[in-house]
């Protein structure tokens, strides 16, 4: 079903969710209703439910009707209608119409009074007479079976009907009648004053909200899901309707969500009814507050220009729509969607006038004033465009999250507190370009927006923005080249083309630098990525040249990163000191482009653990609508740090989060880097088939593109598999392809492969090669780079040493300060030491080292190495009990659905069309499914699913056969 078809199905007619969907999170209310239905006539006459529109009152009444019918009760039902509120007895007519023929069995005066009710064209009978007639009719109706009376939207009951029903309700406590009514919170009606017990239907809690949203709109991108949950704020109707107004690309995270979520027709109609009752001055103040969520009382008064004052909000407060403004603060809506509706239902001219009034009231706040001027403007206006340009520059220089006083841009009804400087700047520049009367200014602003779009997850907008920008003599071509290079790198990994464009960009940058120095960032950051993932010296040289074109203080993160990768041994101390100073000087809300280069440098120097809290804070701030292009590499860096410190579950969670984002936003470059890291993770875990599959997949992508570092990471996975299996010939082949023997590179990942190469060389009889490699590593100064590399190099020296020196070298390696912080490497060295001790017949010492290695391998989840350590330990005469394998991680409901469709032969695209997901999201889910099922390819899905189904059936049968109580 297409998006438009799905939306039409939702709104015309409205979608009818299953009863289970509509009643999620309502267990307590349903139990209360059941207790009433179970005991009519025992003094509990009924219940009044009240709550905000859409909270689920009608769904509870429907459930009550279904339950009552199942119990054999008769159900009479009426709902108030605004258009009939002035017709006497119209609601009573609706309620009693199914039993109208029973009226003929009553006495003359009661019969005549009810006939007047059923014939609405006749003059109405007096209320006292009608009230007693209704009691008599209900007595007849309940003579054979109980009765449930349901009244919904009682605020719209006509006064005569409300009076009669209220009279009846107060007299049915001993009759087999249950009365249920529902009313909107904030309304006054006769039922609220009747003394009827009340129950407020609260908004759903987080768990209930998530269940409703997932049932109605499965497969949402994580950021989209969080946004919808926040906007719906526990309202079931909103949880069902908000997704219907979004496109498939928005739902799966490929297109950004608008600042103001669109309302479905049903939601708009619900909100329109609430707002129509309010006086015009009240709606004026609400519109001003909705367009600037941070406008204080003074600002609202000034913007209202005497047409309204704060006292005019009283009707909205009484209706439960707004909260009274606190001292010094602005207006708060009781539900986020109320503000949305206020803006959506206002006439365009009224919205423009409100923006203009707010701009005038915010003369001392240039940023907020610029946004409102932009929305009040209908045609090109350079002064407004310039103001937006300045707002974008301010947001850029500020970095990090936008401050609380910055309203959501482009007329959003409620400021999104997660809005970040990067996305704010993009929006401002695009709007500034639209308002620019001169082609030169328009071109410049759109080019700047295009570059920032490459960082904010809007890769598919970059080409359009660049095309819209066009070319003028003063177009900042350096930034055009930088933006295009950034897109080429991230979209398809074309680093060669990116390098050529960056060289041209650097030639242009000095003559046409942009106002916000985005050209500098574009060149430096993209050059850094190209340099980091290739082993060629040319990109690093160009980066060095580029940094020399800018003030030293402006390029500190890039300079530290350059030194950490190009000259880490000679400058190790100054790099570590520089990192400490640079991280310490970062502001609390440091921009991601300040943090990520420092993160790369810290990883290279084995120092990220000391600063990872800063990267974590940045990712939490930016992951929803911010600098997604920076969040993903930050997650990669955190993942790598978690792996080397033995936190493998955490590492895989971070990698999967990064992979989900990369897949959703189209960052193929980062998707492949993360897959390479996950290949090594599978190898560490001992899943050889999955590691090889992931490694081959990454290698086939990286090799043609000249990404030697990415290919190196992929090969290291195969090296780890070979080590785990004791296949040192294969391990040596893979290690040698990453760094040739006798010439250990200080680059990445070569600097971390010294022990891998040396151990494989020793075990295959190439002792001279192993010792030459150790000697070269020591002479190159690799141990000076960082503590982990020092441990690895020391362990390699011990492995390659002769028997006379080995023990002392092993002990020295294991005694290095904080050596145990690197549990994988530490345990490998203890394992190698234990092997050497067993070979030299020191069984007692071997048991100590092998036992410690086994304990660590078990602890971190290194299955194959744990098996090898256990075998070595048994060879020393120690009995080792095999560790029970952990239960396999189950498939989620959506993963299973996707896997079953894939097993039938459907492509990712076909599955996505069925489930309203992008093909990339489907692929990401399958990537998680394979290791859970213990397979490596799509062809094995059917058999794995059948085996899983058989296991589940056996488990169910076992439960059925198990004696009661066991």
Output the pLDDT for position 826.
Answer: 97
Name the stretches of the chain with pLDDT < 70: 1-22, 40-44, 121, 186-195, 254, 326-330, 396-422, 509-518, 625, 742-743, 745, 881-889, 916, 936-937, 950-966
Output the pLDDT for position 656.
Answer: 93
Q: Give the Cα separation of 572 and 119 in Å (integer).
A: 95
Output the pLDDT for position 513.
Answer: 47
Q: Give yes or no for a contact between 778 and 793, defined as CB atoms under 8 angstroms apart.
A: yes
First to last CA, the chain: 48
For the record, the structure tokens of 284 come out as 């004026």
DSSP 217-270: STT--HHHHHHHHHHHTT-HHHHHHGGGGS-HHHHTTSSPPPSSPPPPHHHHHH
284: CB partners within 8 A, 6+ apart: 304, 307, 308, 312, 354
DSSP 117-157: HHSTTSPPPPHHHHHHHHHHHHHHHTSSS-EEEEEE-GGGS
Q: Label the pairing between strands 332-333 and 177-184.
A: unpaired
Sole residue written with tokens 């030299």: 840
Q: Give the Cα separation of 85 and 69 in Å (integer).
A: 29
For the record, the structure tokens of 116 come out as 């007047």
Output the pLDDT for position 693.
Answer: 92
User: Is 590 in a helix, a strand, or coil?
Assistant: coil
- Across the strands, what pairs with 198? 48
Q: Give the Cα separation of 120 and 87 in Å (integer).
A: 8
Helix axes 668-685, 477-492, angle to 10 degrees: 30
C-alpha of 945 from chain center:
29
Q: Give the Cα separation of 562 and 785 in Å (integer).
A: 14
For the record, the structure tokens of 489 come out as 């790198």
For the record, the structure tokens of 191 come out as 């039922």
CB atoms within 10 A of CB 878: 15
517: CB partners within 8 A, 6+ apart: 554
> CA 228, 233, 238, 239 torsion: positive or negative?
positive
Output the pLDDT for position 187.
Answer: 66
Strand ranges (DSSP E) for 750-902? none
296: CB partners within 8 A, 6+ apart: 325, 328, 329, 330
CB atoms within 10 A of CB 888: 12
pTM, entire model: 0.73
User: Is 71 in a helix, a strand, or coil?
Assistant: coil
Which candidate, 770, 879, 783, places its Cα nearest to that of 832?
770
Distances in Å between the Cα of 224 and the Cα atoms of 228, 240, 252, 267, 794 are: 6, 14, 7, 19, 49
956: CB partners within 8 A, 6+ apart: none
For the record, the structure tokens of 665 come out as 């936003």
Output the pLDDT for position 51.
Answer: 85
């Amino acid at each position: 079903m297409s998006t438009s078809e799905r939306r039409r199905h939702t709104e015309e007619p409205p979608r009818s969710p299953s009863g289970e969907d509509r009643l999620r999170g309502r267990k307590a209310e349903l139990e209360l209703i059941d207790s009433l239905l179970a005991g009519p006539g025992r003094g509990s006459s009924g219940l009044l439910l009240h709550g905000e529109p859409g909270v689920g009152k009608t769904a509870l009444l429907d459930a009550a009707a279904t339950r009552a019918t199942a119990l054999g009760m008769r159900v009479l039902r009426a709902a108030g209608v605004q258009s009939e509120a002035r017709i006497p007895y119209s609601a009573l007519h609706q309620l009693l119409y199914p039993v109208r023929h029973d009226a003929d069995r009553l006495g003359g005066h009661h019969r005549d009074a009810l006939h007047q009710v059923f014939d609405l064209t006749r003059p109405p009978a007096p209320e006292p007479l009608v009230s007693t007639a209704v009691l008599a009719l209900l007595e007849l109706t309940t003579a054979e079976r109980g009765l449930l009376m349901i009244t919904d939207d009682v605020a719209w009951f006509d006064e005569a009907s409300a009076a009669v029903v209220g009279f009846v309700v107060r007299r049915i406590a001993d009759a087999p009648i249950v009365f249920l009514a529902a009313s909107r919170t904030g309304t006054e009606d006769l039922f609220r004053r009747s003394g009827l017990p009340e129950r407020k239907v609260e908004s759903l809690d987080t768990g209930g909200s998530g269940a409703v949203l997932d049932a109605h709109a499965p497969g949402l991108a994580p950021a989209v899901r969080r946004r919808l949950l926040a906007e719906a704020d526990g309202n079931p109707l909103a949880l069902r309707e908000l997704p219907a107004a979004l496109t498939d690309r928005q739902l799966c995270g490929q297109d950004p969500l608008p600042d103001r979520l669109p309302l479905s027709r049903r939601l708009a109609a619900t909100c329109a009814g609430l707002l129509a009752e309010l006086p015009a001055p009240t709606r004026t103040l609400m519109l001003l507050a909705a367009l600037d969520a941070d406008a204080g009382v003074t600002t609202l008064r000034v913007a209202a220009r005497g047409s309204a004052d704060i006292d005019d909000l009283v009707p909205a407060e009484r209706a439960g729509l707004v909260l009274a403004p606190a001292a010094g603060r602005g207006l708060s809506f009781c539900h986020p969607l109320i503000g949305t509706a206020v803006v959506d239902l206002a006439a365009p001219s009224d919205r423009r006038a409100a923006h203009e009034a707010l701009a005038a009231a915010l003369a001392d706040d240039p940023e907020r004033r610029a946004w409102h001027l932009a929305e009040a403007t209908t045609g090109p206006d350079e002064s407004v465009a310039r103001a937006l340009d300045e707002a974008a520059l301010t947001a850029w220089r500020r970095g990090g999250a936008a401050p609380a006083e910055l309203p959501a841009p482009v007329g959003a009804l409620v400021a999104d507190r997660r809005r970040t400087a990067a996305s704010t700047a993009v929006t401002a520049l695009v709007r500034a370009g639209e308002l620019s009367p001169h082609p030169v200014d328009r071109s410049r602003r759109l080019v700047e927006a295009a570059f920032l779009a490459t960082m904010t997850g809007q890769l598919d907008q970059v080409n359009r923005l660049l095309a819209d920008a066009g070319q003028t003599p003063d177009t900042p071509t350096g930034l055009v080249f930088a933006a295009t290079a950034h897109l080429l790198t991230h979209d398809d990994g074309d680093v060669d083309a990116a390098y050529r464009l960056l060289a041209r960009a650097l030639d242009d940058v000095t003559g046409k630098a942009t106002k916000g120095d985005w050209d500098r960032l574009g060149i430096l950051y993209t050059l850094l990525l190209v340099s980091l993932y290739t082993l060629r010296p040319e990109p690093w040289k160009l980066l060095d040249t580029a940094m020399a074109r800018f003030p030293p203080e402006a390029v500190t993160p890039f300079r530290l990163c350059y030194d950490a990768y190009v000259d880490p041994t000679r400058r190790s101390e100054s790099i570590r000191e520089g990192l400490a100073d640079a991280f310490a000087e970062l502001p609390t809300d440091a921009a991601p482009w300040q943090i990520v280069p420092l993160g790369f440098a810290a990883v290279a120097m084995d120092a990220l653990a000391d600063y990872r809290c800063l990267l974590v804070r940045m990712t939490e701030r930016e992951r929803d609508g911010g600098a997604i292009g920076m969040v993903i590499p930050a997650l990669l860096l955190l993942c790598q740090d978690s792996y080397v410190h033995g936190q493998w579950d955490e590492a895989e969670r971070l990698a999967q989060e990064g992979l989900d984002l990369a897949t959703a936003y189209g960052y193929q470059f980062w998707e492949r880097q993360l897959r390479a890291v996950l290949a090594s993770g599978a190898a560490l875990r001992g899943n050889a088939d999955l590691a090889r599959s992931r490694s081959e997949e990454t290698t086939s992508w990286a090799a043609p593109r000249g990404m030697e570092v990415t290919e190196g990471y992929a090969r290291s996975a195969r090296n780890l598999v070979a080590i785990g299996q004791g296949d040192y010939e294969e391990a040596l082949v893979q290690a040698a392809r990453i760094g040739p023997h006798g010439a250990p590179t200080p680059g990445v990942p070569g600097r971390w492969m010294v022990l891998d190469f040396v151990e494989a060389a020793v075990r295959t009889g190439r002792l001279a090669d192993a010792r030459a490699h150790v000697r070269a590593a020591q002479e190159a100064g690799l141990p000076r780079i960082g503590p982990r590399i020092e441990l690895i190099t020391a362990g390699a020296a011990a492995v390659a040493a002769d028997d006379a020196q080995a023990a002392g070298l092993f002990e020295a390696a294991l005694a290095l300060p904080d050596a145990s912080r690197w549990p994988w490497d530490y345990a490998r060295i203890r394992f190698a030491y234990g092997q050497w001790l067993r070979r030299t017949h020191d069984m007692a010492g071997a048991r100590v080292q092998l036992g410690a290695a086994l304990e660590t391998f078990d602890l971190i989840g290194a299955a194959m190495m744990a098996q090898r350590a256990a075998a070595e330990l048994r060879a020393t005469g120690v009995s080792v009990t095999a560790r029970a394998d952990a239960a396999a991680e189950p498939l989620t409901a959506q993963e299973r659905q996707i896997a079953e469709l894939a097993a039938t032969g459907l492509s990712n695209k076909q599955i996505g069309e069925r489930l309203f997901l992008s093909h990339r999201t489907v692929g990401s889910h399958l990537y998680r499914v394979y290791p859970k099922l213990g397979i490596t390819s799509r062809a094995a899905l059917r058999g794995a699913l059948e085996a899983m189904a058989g296991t589940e059936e056996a488990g169910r049968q076992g439960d059925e056969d198990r004696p009661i109580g066991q």
